[in-house]
Structure formats: C-alpha cells, structure tokens
C-alpha cells in the first residue's frame, strides 16, 4: 500500500493532510496549528485542495476535521476586501461554487469528525456522508443573515437537504448555536460521541468501510451524493449572486452611515 505523501498535502497553509497506509486521508482545518480563522486565501486554496483530494485515487476514505478542538469557529471578513466591487465578488462567487462542487466530486466515502464550533461553512461538513460529532459540538451561521447578507453560498442547500427546508430556514434566519444532540435529532449528525472522541470514531468507521471492495465504496459515495450534487449545481451559483447583491447593499448602507 502506498505510504508516500504527495506534494499537494503541504501546499495549503490552512489544511493539514495526512494519509495512512490504508489510504485514509485526514484533512484538518487549522490556522498555525490551532483552530482555523477562515480567510479569503483559504477560500482560494480550498478550491484546488478539494479538487486534488478528489482526483487522487490513492485516497480511499476522506475524513474532514479541525484543529484545537474546533471545526471552523471564525472568519476574517476583512481579508475578502471590498465585496461591493464586482470584480472581488466575481472571484468569491466562482470559488464558492467550485469549492462545493469539488467537495461533492470526492468519489470515496467522506466522514466529518466535528468537535467544538462549526460557526462558518458548516455546509462543508454536511457534504460528508457521515458526521460524527462530540457532544459539545455546535453548529451556527455567523457570516450571513446575522451580519446582513443572504445565506446563499450553499449553506441553505446543504441544510435543507439534510434537515428539511423549514428547519433550515428557521436556523438561518435566526442563527443560534445548534447542539450536536439537536443536529442528531434532525438527522444531520449520524453519531454523537464524548468530547474529544470524534476523530477516533471516524477512524473506526473508516476501517469498517474499507472492508468493502473499492469499486463498491466509490460507487456508493457517487450514488449517495448525486441528489445533493444536482442541487449544488442548480442552486449555489444563483444563491451566491443574491448573496453578492446583499453584500454590496450592506457596504453601501455602512458607507452612508459614515
């Protein structure tokens, strides 16, 4: 079994990757080894990172997780620059679509191992086949409606697919921390485990999945993700256009006040 770590594993400052001899890839979001603060550079990098993960057939199972007991707890809004500038938003728009399409194009089982806060881009986790969450984990949406912009980047698409449209709309219009237990009741989280045990349980599941033939594993992922992939292709570009218009209006109103 291949053990060499390919060059792309170290190409992205906020994504640490390691693959074991069985082909289980753990991709860990981080900022300098601690919990990640999501930036515009990450938005750019993750387009390529998820594409490379998807096209590398040496990856047999993918586990997404976060460093420092968190998944994605925060975001640096200022790093995105002037989002009222059409040129700036064009890049945000295109990358936002490509990130989710590339995640959906990972053609092996994907597990999200969640600890702590998922305040930003929880849709990344919801594109996994299975979410394992520590009992103290929480899901929220800090960047969108609470900040004055439309949640159009795929977060509604993912949450409405996994939890139902009514729950997704209420959650996104009045964002509050959603506990792992509630997410489990909604059918979003597959398993709730003691704090600090999510990654270990994800590895156990990966070992179990590896007992199936490779073509079976790959085709099961392709089959399971297809309905959500169709919605991503249909909805996310449009949603990001609406989000961009609301972001431009928010900047305009803030400038008017000053």
Catalytic entry in 28, 70, 123, 243: 123
- Measure the CA–CA gap between 193 and 195, rounded to whole angstroms: 6
Q: In this structure, are strands 130-134 and 191-193 parallel, antiparallel, or unpaired?
A: parallel
- Please state the length of the chain: 258
**Is residue 123 flagged as an active site residue?**
yes
Residues identified as active-site: 123
């Amino acid at each position: 079994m291949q053990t060499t770590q390919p060059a792309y594993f170290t190409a992205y400052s906020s994504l640490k990757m390691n693959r074991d001899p069985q082909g289980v890839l753990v991709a860990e979001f981080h900022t300098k080894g601690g919990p990640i603060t999501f930036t515009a550079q990450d938005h750019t990098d993750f387009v390529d990172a998820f594409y490379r993960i998807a096209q590398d057939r040496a990856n047999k199972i993918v586990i997404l997780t976060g460093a420092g007991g968190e998944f994605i707890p925060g975001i640096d809004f200022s790093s995105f620059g002037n989002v009222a500038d059409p040129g700036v938003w064009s890049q945000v728009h295109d990358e936002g679509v490509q990130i989710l399409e590339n995640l959906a194009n990972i053609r092996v089982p994907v597990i999200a191992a969640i600890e702590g806060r998922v305040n930003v881009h929880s849709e990344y986790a919801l594109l996994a086949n299975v979410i394992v969450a520590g009992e103290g984990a929480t899901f929220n949406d800090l960047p969108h409606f609470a900040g004055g912009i439309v949640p159009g980047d795929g977060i509604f698409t993912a949450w409405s697919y996994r939890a139902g449209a009514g729950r997704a709309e209420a959650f996104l219009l009045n964002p509050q921390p959603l506990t792992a237990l509630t997410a489990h009741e909604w059918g979003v989280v597959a398993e709730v485990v003691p704090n600090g045990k999510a990654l270990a349980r994800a590895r156990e599941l990966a070992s179990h999945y590896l007992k199936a033939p490779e073509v079976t594993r790959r085709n099961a992922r392709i089959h399971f993700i297809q309905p959500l992939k169709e919605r991503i292709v249909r909805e996310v570009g449009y949603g990001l256009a609406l989000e961009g218009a609301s972001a431009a209006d928010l900047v305009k109103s803030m400038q008017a006040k000053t």
